[in-house]
Structure 1
Amino acid sequence: MSSDDEDFMSDTLSDDEYDNDSMGMLGETADESEYEEENDQFLEDTKFDKPQKKAYEVDFRALSANDVKSEQDKQINEVSSILGRSSEQCAILLRHFKWQKERLIEIYMDGPEQVLEESGLGQDYNISPRLEKVAGFECGICCDDEPGLDTYSMKCDHRYCASCYRQYLESKIKEEGEAARIQCPSEGCARIVDSKTIKLLVSSDAWYRYEELLNRTYVDDKQNLRWCPAPECEYAVDCPIRQNELHKVVPTVVCNCSHRFCFGCGLHDHQPCPCSLVKKWLKKCEDDSETANWISAHTKECPKCVSTIEKNGGCNHMTCRKCKHEFCWVCMGPWNEHGTSWYNCNRYEEKSGSEARDNQAKSRASLERYLHYYNRYANHDHSAKLDKDLYSKTEKKMTMLQSTSGMSWIEVQYLNQASAVLQECRQTLKWTYAFAFYLERNNNTYIFEDNQKDLEMAVEQLSELFEKPPDQLAQSKKEMMDKTAYVKSRRGILLEDTAVGLKNERWSFTVDV
């Protein structure tokens, strides 16, 4: 994880700002009150003297499996001290109420007997479960009546041999993935099997799986927790953003495994595009898949000599090998206009009413508009992959730089930083086109497109520097470092403006957000 990401993770809201912007809502339910209390505690635990965070940043922290277990134990102990019940009972109660502590306490105080019954505890409870030998016993599952057989029963008195009980529990845990709500094996009995019984009966590997499933259930039940979607990552992320806030914020978080994703929907980082627009855009791209496949083809013809050209790098500055004509891969216009006041590659020019006067013309204009945005969206996605591949080759250049220029490994890390910023900005630019597709045309749209244009031009310039041969990289070190910093700054400006606009509801969209 970069130092910037670490700073980003440690930034926090002030209590006043948090209360006003996120939690100061009238008519709170008991669930919301508890949620607010937990978020306040979250801010207390993560408060540091750091600079004010950006509008597009959110508070979050990554939790390991042990951290998640500690969070559960803390809440269980708090409820146990209030209700005067054992930790095992309180764990079952909290899981029944999906860890809504305040709601549990409120309803329990009104009628404890009913709560105990509905949660699967009942009035009686095994404080210290143990195996017993019962004379004349016959197991209702396997019909074994061997004398001296170990048996087990909860307070519901449904007794089975230890072997059958163990097999039942391990099947629930290992095959069905159940943990929080495992009921008594007797048909129709709703008594919940507690963790002490589980530990008494099952094998060590089943117990480990049981604890893992309890952690997963806890995270799934909590509004402010989400598992990191990266493959094989075992971290969860805590972020105090509610689902009803997602039209005003794009909550990008960074897990300890360095995976950057949206806390709201779990998809890869899609700033500045809100989750609802991302869902609509992906659905539209899927519906228009044949058109999308056609437009995202990797070969085009030179606009001057009509020779077939294949794109093999992230940079959009293309030079025809046959006629040496320089043009833009995206809009096919002359490259000498890119980087000047004539730059207009990112902006879609609407057709006048006279040009789209009939239904067929309107349909064609609608398709052209979609293709304009999809082409640029897909191009940045493709370029990001090519830039990533390019960096793999650049690692060899870094090694060559050390031997030819006398630089140390640390001194050539500017290429690593440039690559990371380049890929991050490609990801941002990709989603700016989905954002722009749904924007209504007004003065704010032009401001957005200007910021988009500035970032896109800077990214292309950095991408060009990145593709220089090894013998020129040493001479362009300062230029590349300066351009990397500038590109990063332009990304921040674009995201800040869009985030503030979402928060203040300044943007107008053609669809509901």
Structure 2
Amino acid sequence: MSDISEFDDYDYDQESDDVMDLESIDGGSDFGNDIDGFDDVKPERVVRKPYEVAYEVLSTDDIKAREEALVAQTCNILGLTHDQALSLLLYFRWNNDRLLEQYTEDPSRILEKVGVLLDESGTDIRNYKLIAVDGFTCDICCEDNEGLFTFALECGHRFCQDCYKQYITQKIMEEGESRNIQCPDGTCSIVVNNEVIKLLVDPKVYERYQSLLTRTFVLDNDHMAWCPAPNCEYAVRCNDISTKDLDTIVPTVECKCGYRFCFGCGHSDHQPSTCMLVKKWLQKCQDDSETASWISANTKECPKCKAIIEKNGGCNHMTCRKCHYEFCWICSGSWPEHGVAWYNCSRYEDKASVEARDNQAKSRALLERYLHYYNRYANHEHSAKLDKDLFIRTEKKMMQLQSTSGMSWIEVQYLAQASKVLQECRETLKWTYAFAFYLARNNETHIFEDNQQDLELAVENLSLLFGKPIPELSELKVQIMDRTAYCSKRRENLLSDTAKGLQEGRWKYQTNVDVL
């Protein structure tokens, strides 16, 4: 392993030209309409690296504020009440552009579809309330008690209050439904709206309903996505990326909870591999394709009955257990023609035999190539998990270092930063091998592999220092900080070059990456 002092004079301020303006990527339109109506505020002009995209992390309160603002905007434009506008927006999946387009063409038809009934003056004729009906029998519970409170939508399907409440509560709390809760009558498609739900259910259930509405606001917006991390309530908004860009951009974002993921496919950070390459690679690793490769590389078909045969000894005299045909493992020719001199195969140069051997060699070469990349991919994946466990123990190590060296808590933060950089670099290195597996061999590939090798060496050197005993860590502070900065720079260089290559179309692949 190289001496770690070789990096001490590294200039960390180089390549200042590797920046990209915030607005340099065309946002596109085929990722869906922007439905939150907040495009009027232009973000400050900042610079970002070629592999970075502009995004915004939103809290639940931020999302609710945008949701309410969109409802209020719709109310003002169409002259409707809050609940009427909300019903329309839910029907159109929060797409106000499509709502306005269709509403202006035929308002009555659209209002009827969502169950909003207006008289000639534009007043809502619905009057939701609980009433007691003489001689009423509930079709669900069959109760007919005198004074039983009942409820019905404009469709007229009436049920008792308890059954209606239980039905809606089950839809919200157990099924997680919010947008399309229909009338309890199985033949009716009238949707239960916000006003009815607020009237019938308990406050806790209504609060859950509002929370589910907020989730639909994000799920229906192609420019927004919930953070996939467990128990995280943040969402990410990214307007600069369209579907057609995903073969040239890897839109990695980082939530406030610290989780990094791809906005395009929702997978954890997989730079520099594109979404389609990741999908192809994971499928290749999980399905039976490599089992077939192993069979092709290590077995042969019986020349007579085509049964699959594995050689289990050193002798080339093979006897098929199925049809008892005797043949030569080397050339697949009939064994009696070889006599006892099987080692001097007279059919060795036959065209069919040469072709069979060539196919066997190709299968073996393909399998060995796959294993080369997969083993390194799996190794970095395993190392990343170990580094993550190490990160969990880092705080304890920092406290021990603080007590033994006299450093302040701020002064020992270099260990936390080193641990974070190690995890990021391991994750990047893991996906570089998936990316390299599909690359065609050319000069660009050699440059990529050089960057990959430099980053791998830097990571191993930092990992070596980071694992030193606690008494030595205080003396190695400067070296660890240098290694941390160097690893970050090497990772930045690799990702920047790869991202530029994707955008410029420089990368050539051995397979069609557009289809599985």
TM range (shorter): 0.7 to 0.9
1:455-474 superposed matches below 5 A? 455-474=455-474
1:487 and 2:484 aligned: no
Per-residue CA deviations over 1:10-58 (Å, capped at 9, x if unaligned) read x99545x34xx223x7xx8xx95x43995744xx26x1354x1111111
Paired with 2:452 and 2:37, the residues of 1 have a C-alpha distance of 38
Moved more, 195-204 or 151-160: 151-160
CA contact (8 A) 1:246 1:264 kept: yes
Report whether the alignment pairs 1:78 with 2:73.
yes
The answer as to 2:231 corresponding to 1:232 is yes
Could you list the per-position Cα deviations for residues 417-438 of structure 1 after superposition, in whole angstroms to 9, with x for gaps in the alignment?
A: 1111011100000000000001
Deviates more, 1:366-375 or 1:466-475: 466-475
In structure 1, give the amino acid aligned to 2:232.
C
Instruction: Give RMSD over aligned pairs.
Output: 2.7
How big is each residue's C-alpha offset from its partner over 1:317-345, in whole Å with a ceiling of 9 and x where there is no partner? xxxxxxxxxxxxxxxxxxxxxxxxxxxxx
Paired position in structure 2 for 1:326: none
Q: Give per-residue Cα distances to partners, 1:45-89, cap 9 Å, x unaligned.
A: 6x1354x11111112122222222222211111122122222212
CA distance 1:120–1:359, shift in 2 (3 Å): farther
User: Paired residue for 2:152?
Assistant: 153
Deviations 1:364-412 (A, max 9, x none): 0001110111111111111112223334455444333323322122211
Is the CA contact (8 Å cut-off) linking 1:439 and 1:445 kept in structure 2? yes
Number of residue pairs matched? 430
**Aligned residue in 2 for 1:269:** 269
Please say which structure displays the higher CA radius of gyration. Answer: 2
1:444-463, aligned counterparts within 5 Å? 444-463=444-463
- 2:222 aligned residue: 223
Q: Post-superposition shift, 1:289?
A: 9.0
Cα distance change on mapping 1:415 and 1:151 into 2, 3 Å: same
TM-score, length of structure 2 as denominator length: 0.77
- Tell me how far apart the structure 2 counterparts of residues 483 and 14 of structure 1 sit (CA, whole Å): 30
Matches within 5 A, 1:284-433: 284-287=284-287, 358-433=358-433
Equivalents in 1 of 2:183, 2:148: separation in Å?
A: 20
Structure 2 residue 190 is matched with structure 1 residue 191: yes
Aligned to 1:3: none
Q: Aligned equivalents of 1:275 and 1:14: distance in 2? A: 22
Aligned to 1:105: 100
Q: What SS does the aligned partner of 1:129 have? A: coil
Residue identity (%): 54
Q: Secondary structure at the match of 1:141?
A: coil
Alpha-carbon distance in structure 1 between the residues aligned to 2:420 and 2:100: 49
Q: Partner residue of 1:209?
A: 208
Which residue is equivalent to 1:341? none
Name the residue aligned to 1:164. 163
Separation in 2 of the partners of 1:133 and 1:13?
66
Identify which of 4, 14, 22 aligns with 2:27.
Answer: 22
Larger RCO, structures 1/2 (Cα 8 Å, 6+ apart): 2
**Counterpart for residue 255 of structure 1:** 255
Check whether the contact 2:173–2:205 (CA below 8 A) recurs between aligned residues. yes
Q: Structure 1-normalised TM-score?
A: 0.78
Q: Distance in 1 between matches of 2:438 and 2:477?
A: 40
Asked whether the equivalents of residues 251 and 262 of structure 2 are also in contact (C-alpha less than 8 Å), the reply is yes
Counterpart secondary structure, 1:160: strand
Looking at structure 2, the residues matched to 454 and 104 of structure 1 have their Cα atoms a distance apart, in angstroms, of 54
Distance 1:503 1:363 in 2: 34
Structure 1 residues 356 and 362: CA distance shift in structure 2, 3 A = farther
